[in-house]
């Protein structure tokens, strides 16, 4: 029972992950018929979702093989510099990361200071992000959402403010989408889910207890 959330994550991943090139390359994968001829003689194409792992009879074995080959390639710096054009526009925009952040943190019972203490980000860099002098990279935004147990609506607002989207063809995005949608914010459960899919590049500051475990 204690690992039911991992089983649920696996089911979600099989139903959502859409890098079909990577999926179809797995040994034992059976390519479904995506094209057929209709009664009228015309070619009919089925939705590409039929290629997802959830439709494979041996999906558990395929997923296990998939996990064996995983490495986290989503490395980024914690921030990026704002283009000159954005620096000029930001004061007039209603939804920027710095403007949306305080309300999102308040809903989570956090402040900029308490949230920053949970991130593996330099305090000086974090303060510049909070003030809108630097933009957070996507890994930083995702880490912030997870460590503050942010509500899904606020998480979406922060991602949208930066023009970021959780994509279904990225392992990191599908796993973190599951965590956010299902509020899997318990530190041990969260870290086990991330480790299960070898997601290691999120700037999350682990507690001493988590590090020892």
| Mean pLDDT on 123-127 | 97
DSSP-based three-state secondary structure for 90: helix
Mean pLDDT score of the chain, rounded to an integer?
Answer: 91
Q: What is the reported pLDDT for 74?
A: 81
Question: Span 60-84, mean pLDDT?
Answer: 90
Tell whether the model's pLDDT for residue 68 goes beyond 90: yes
Rounded to 10 deg, the angle between the 138-147 and 171-181 helix axes is 30
The reported pLDDT for the residue numbered 46 is 74
Task: Encode pLDDT of 126-145 as tens digits.
Answer: 999 999 999 999 999 999 99
Q: Which residue has the tokens 């093989």?
A: 65
Looking at the predicted structure, is the pLDDT value of residue 111 above 60?
Answer: yes
Ramachandran region, residue 163 (left: φ > 0; alpha: ψ -120 to 50; beta: rest): left
Give dist(CA 42, CA 38) in Å, integer: 5
Residue 165, phi then psi, degrees to nearest 5: -135, 140
Structure tokens that stand for 42 in this block = 């015309």
Quick check: pTM over 0.85?
A: yes
Alpha helices in 51-151 (DSSP H): 59-68, 84-89, 97-107, 112-116, 123-130, 138-147
**What is 148-159 written as a DSSP string?**
TT--HHHHHHHH
């Amino acid at each position: 029972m204690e690992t039911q959330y991992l089983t649920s994550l696996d089911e979600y991943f099989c139903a959502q992950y859409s890098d079909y090139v990577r999926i179809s390359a797995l040994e034992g994968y059976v390519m479904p018929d995506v094209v057929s001829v209709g009664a009228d003689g015309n070619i009919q194409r089925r939705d590409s979702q039929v290629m997802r792992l959830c439709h494979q009879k041996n999906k558990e074995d395929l997923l296990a093989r998939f996990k064996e080959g995983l490495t986290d390639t989503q490395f980024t710096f914690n921030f990026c510099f704002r283009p000159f054009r954005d620096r000029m526009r930001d004061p007039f925009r209603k939804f920027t990361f710095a403007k949306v952040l305080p309300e999102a943190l308040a809903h989570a019972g956090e402040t900029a200071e308490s949230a920053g203490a949970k991130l593996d980000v330099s305090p000086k860099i974090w303060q510049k992000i909070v003030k809108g002098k630097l933009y957070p990279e996507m890994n930083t935004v995702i880490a912030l959402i997870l460590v503050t147990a942010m509500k899904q609506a606020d998480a979406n607002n922060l991602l949208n403010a930066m023009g970021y989207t959780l994509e279904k063809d990225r392992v990191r995005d599908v796993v973190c989408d599951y965590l956010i949608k299902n509020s899997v914010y318990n530190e041990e459960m969260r870290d086990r889910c991330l480790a299960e899919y070898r997601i290691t590049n999120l700037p999350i500051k682990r507690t001493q207890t988590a590090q020892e475990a």
